A and B are shown apart, each in its own frame.
Chain A
Amino acid sequence: MVLSVVALVSALGVVLSKNPVTSVLCLIVTFFTIAGHYIMMNAQFLAVVHIIVYAGAIMVLFLYVLMLMNLNAELEPQKRNWLKYAGAISGGALLVVLVAALRDASMPALSTNATDIGLIKNLGMILFKQYVVPFEVSSILFLSAMIGAVVIGKKE
């Protein structure tokens, strides 16, 4: 419960903070709370990977780019506020609509029993037996991302 509140508040912090660096930090907090949820739901492996990939790698990359571009100061001019409000309102409206849509769904409660599907061993079995094709295919994705980084990043 507390985790959830923290998650929501820090998520809002990402959106609302004026300083991009604060946003990044808020996002990292959110990620940690989400990782907490993972652990609560017996997805230990995912929690670890999540911390490593998101909080560790990706956010650092973001932070790095922000610093590189010297964007730590607030640069957004305050013109056209209506777009902001409109954005907030429509985001809220989307929330309302989705909640209304899913309100009636009768879902079971999650048991507190520990399950072992989140263990690295079980996941590995699935990944290399059943999910080997996507595993291979994702290499294409990485290759193209790599080429992309080269093509776009390389100076001419």
Chain B
Amino acid sequence: MPVQYYIFLSIALFCIGVMGVLMRRNAIIIFMCIELMLNAVNLLMVSFSKMWADAGRVDAGSAQLFVFFIMVVAAAEVAVGLAIITMVYRNTHSVDINILNRLKN
């Protein structure tokens, strides 16, 4: 299976994530779509890792570790993000991002 295939698959997933970010107004769903984007990246990273491993690079495992770190960061982000969303919900009783436009111009 060519790497190209994985590239296009990840890009497709990535763009679906972007699309979701653009189309949805629910902050949580947007956040989920961002997670989808990150996972697309992860997938691509793993396929490149495999690619370079095939090419005989010894340190190809570092890409998998990178994925690991992305997961770590994603977890941290989720913690903060959900806290923020909860805080906003507490104050506005909504997670619709369009309700928030006090700050403009």
A positions within 8 Å CB-CB of B: 4, 7-8, 11-12, 14-15, 20, 23-24, 27, 30-31, 34, 37-38, 41-43, 45-46, 49-50, 53-54, 57-58, 61-62, 65-66, 68-69, 71, 75-76, 80, 83-84, 86-88, 90-92, 94-95, 98-99, 102, 105, 107-111, 113, 115, 117-118, 122-123, 126-127, 130-131, 134, 138, 141-142, 144-146, 148-149, 152-153
* Residues of the A chain whose Cβ atoms lie less than 8 Å from the Cβ of B82: 61-62, 65
* Contact status A99-B16, CB under 8 Å: no
Distance in Å: Cβ of A118 to nearest Cβ of chain B: 6
B15, A91: Cβ atoms under 8 Å? Answer: yes
Count of interface residues, chain B, beta-carbon cutoff 8 Å? 73
Per a CB cutoff under 8 Å, which of A15, A24, A31, A115 touches B50?
A115
Chain B residues proximal to chain A, CB less than 8 Å = 1-9, 11-26, 28-29, 31-33, 35-36, 39, 42-43, 46-47, 49-51, 53-55, 59-62, 64-65, 67-69, 71-80, 82-87, 89, 94-96, 98
- Please indicate the chain B residues that have their CB under 8 angstroms from the CB of A57 in the complex: 75
A41 and B50 within 8 A (CB): yes
Which listed residue (A15, A46, A62, A117) contacts B20, Cβ 8 A?
Answer: A15
Give 10 closest A-B pairs by Cβ, nearest first.
A87-B22, A91-B19, A15-B20, A95-B15, A145-B76, A107-B3, A117-B61, A87-B23, A41-B50, A152-B83
Docked pose: A57 CA to B86 CA in angstroms: 18
The interface residues of chain B lying within 8 Å CB-to-CB of A76 are 24-26, 96
A147 vs chain B, min Cβ distance (A): 10
Which of A15, A24, A142 is the one whose CB lies under 8 Å from B76?
A: A142
Which one of B8, B64, B76, B87 lies within 8 Å of A153 (CB-CB)?
B87
Do A61 and B78 form a contact, CB below 8 Å, given A23-B29, A41-B46? yes
* Chain B residues, Cβ within 8 Å of A80: 98
Min distance, Cβ A124 to any Cβ of chain B, angstroms: 10
